[in-house]
Chains A and B, each alone.
Chain A
Amino acid sequence: MDAAIHLKDIVPAAQNNITTMFILLEKSRIKIKGESKTCMALVADETAAVHLELWGEDCDAFEAGDIIRLEKGIFSNSGDGNKMNLKAGRRGRIKKMGEFTMAFVETPNMSELQWVVDPNNPKKYIQLAVLSPHSRVFPPLP
């Protein structure tokens, strides 16, 4: 089992290399695209938040307040626009570990950072700018 990393340390990459734990804060409405279901979720740990894409049955299986472990997940371009989202992908695993008892922060949000390819290393991404301190899809509660 890979060691879990904090959300503040995730970096976009074209490989399933992210194992991490977080709590699910909010879920968007489920979208049905042909055969497949998908939805977006705001997840966070005590260091950062990020947007998580859920697919298929996972969309219904997880609820706000669930503590979740993601193994071999991928943090990459979502396809629409240039936003980086976390997902399990075909090779990752996502599993409920508990409920409620995890601290979190909503800022920074790793999906609201602008990432660019490192000029010194074309295989790596680096943070360029903060687009928004917190999620614009799931604004913080008043």
Chain B
Amino acid sequence: MEVAFWSGRSDDLGYLNQEYTELNHALLYGVLTVPQFAKIHIKHLHGIVSDGYALFVSLALRVVLELYNKLVDSVKQQLIWVVHEIVGVSGVGFDGLLVGLLRHTVGCDYTDRGLWLCFELINLFLANFTSLLEEEPSVLTSALYVYLRLLADHCRVSGNVRVDLLKKLEIEFCVKMLRGQFHLSMKIGRDLVRLLQDLVHVPEFRCIWKDLVLDATTFRTEGFSDVAQLYSTRTSSRYFLLRVTPEMELQLRFLLVHVKFSHLKRYQMWFAKKFLFEPERETLIVDMIRFICCAHHPSNEIIHSDSVPRWAIIGWLLSCCRKKYVEANAKLALFYDWLFFDERMDNIMNIEPAMLLMVCSMPQYVGMTQSLLEFLLLLVDNYDQVRSYTIAKGVSLAFNSLVTEGVNSLDTLTSCDALSPFLKERLKKLLSSTNETLPHQLYPGRLSHCSADASPLETPSSHPKHEPAGA
């Protein structure tokens, strides 16, 4: 086949390409559906392969992304089996396959099926740690992000033997990464700190956390000496995609592109029923907010249409939080990029939803504005008391950039009668103490007519540039 494949005659090539494609389809189908012949099918695959398994991997990836939830258990088991095989031969694109599977793990899903996938994948990562380190280290960083986040949920469960067993493996993997491969771990950027902070109550992570904030040199990583270096690294949107399933991503993007405000209610009900119905599921809101702020940046055309804006969906998600700690984590997720904002490397689209949510809630839901602003000022003082100046500066620069880009005027907040005078005073103080050169060309009243039932947002034509989602 190899000889014929390269014979150069295009009709041969076309014919063989088609035959090769069909063989790959058939072998994948066979492996997934007829377990007793899977080993033979794989042997045949090894025999015919001429593209480094690229086609086979891409077909398997489509199964993972488009069909996973519809697969029966035996097929899911075969899928994991074949992924082990593909990782074993380093098939072209195997990292994408692992990332695709990681996206299907759901932290607050304690069903046998849900836990099974977490188990299978953590075993795979531990068993192949050394080879992955050589072949595709970035997939280990992705797995670290996923498992730190899963642990935050799993560590809140007690008395479940399976979860306890799983936790042990997850902790083993994460500690191995953080202690042994910090240079890979820190590639996550600032959200690594956010995730670790949620795990400080777990002894293994408490030590790591202490070292990170008190003596970063213990990680013995060249060029890393202080946690502030992590703060100043914006986390790539691909990490946020890891924590929404492909189905959630599809539905959230649909909401934000195709749904008009007037039709939102039914979609909200369906979405909540599917993804947030069970009480433990609300921790997903934190991941959804990070996804919306950092991985879904609408085009100017959408911004100026009557599609539901991002801030409105975030406001709704916040209102779905029942537990205090989830609500606090969700607000932290919303403001996280504000704390370390640096216009040279941060994207204003990541901080825009929080500002618009505060401003657009004022007419009808001033309580929302008040609680968000309160939370933000609380973060400035308490998030990291040693580096509070850095954070105050970040927040001030964030406000500054939003004003300069015309997203909103500060007057709208500082002159709102319904907001507590104490908060307004503190806001003014923060802005004047950290930034003497705050621009005075504010846009008085630019958004003053914006109401929560959202007339299209009056965002200026020179709307901030946005990175393509998924960048």
Residues of A within 8 A of B (CB): 25, 64-65, 99-101, 103-105, 141
Contact = CB atoms under 8 A, between A and B. Distances in A.
A7 to B, nearest CB: 16
Contacts of B210: none
A126 to B, nearest CB: 29
B263 A100 contact: no
A100 B270 contact: yes
A105 B266 CA distance: 11
B296 to A, nearest CB: 15
A141 B266 contact: yes
Contacts of A99: 251, 270, 274
B259 A103 contact: yes
B270 A64 contact: yes
26 contacts: A25-B266, A64-B266, A64-B269, A64-B270, A65-B266, A65-B270, A65-B274, A99-B251, A99-B270, A99-B274, A100-B250, A100-B251, A100-B254, A100-B267, A100-B271, A100-B274, A101-B250, A101-B251, A101-B258, A103-B258, A103-B259, A103-B263, A104-B263, A105-B263, A141-B265, A141-B266
Contacts of A64: 266, 269-270
Contacts of B271: 100
Interface in B243-279: 250-251, 254, 258-259, 263, 265-267, 269-271, 273-274
A100 B271 CA distance: 8
Nearest to A42: B266
B247 to A, nearest CB: 8
A81 to B, nearest CB: 27
A103 B270 CA distance: 14
Q: 8 shortest A-B CB distances, which residue pairs?
A: A65-B270, A101-B254, A141-B265, A100-B251, A103-B258, A100-B270, A25-B266, A101-B250
A101 B270 CA distance: 11
Nearest to A141: B265
A118 B265 CA distance: 39
A25 B266 CA distance: 7
B251 to A, nearest CB: 5
Contacts of A101: 250-251, 254, 258
Nearest to A98: B250
Contacts of A103: 258-259, 263
Nearest to B255: A100
A100 B250 CA distance: 9
A99 B271 CA distance: 10
Contacts of B258: 101, 103
Instruction: With a 10 A CB-CB cut-off, give which of B258, B265, B266 has the most chain A CB atoms.
Output: B266
Contacts of A25: 266
Nearest to B267: A100
Nearest to A142: B265
A85 B273 CA distance: 28
A64 B272 CA distance: 12
Instruction: With a 10 A CB-CB cut-off, give which of A64, A103, A105 has the most chain B CB atoms.
Output: A103
A104 B270 CA distance: 14
Contacts of B254: 100-101
Nearest to A103: B258
A64 B267 CA distance: 10
Contacts of B266: 25, 64-65, 141
A16 B80 CA distance: 45
A97 to B, nearest CB: 13
Contacts of B274: 65, 99-100
A100 B275 CA distance: 12
Nearest to B250: A101
Nearest to A23: B266
Interface string B266-298: 110111011000000000000000000000000
A99 B273 CA distance: 13
B19 to A, nearest CB: 28
A23 to B, nearest CB: 9
A64 B273 CA distance: 10
B364 to A, nearest CB: 15
A36 to B, nearest CB: 28
B138 to A, nearest CB: 31
Nearest to B271: A100
Nearest to A46: B258
Nearest to A101: B254
A92 B273 CA distance: 30
Contacts of A65: 266, 270, 273-274
Nearest to A26: B266
A43 to B, nearest CB: 12
Instruction: With a 10 A CB-CB cut-off, give which of B251, B270, B273 has the most chain A CB atoms.
Output: B270
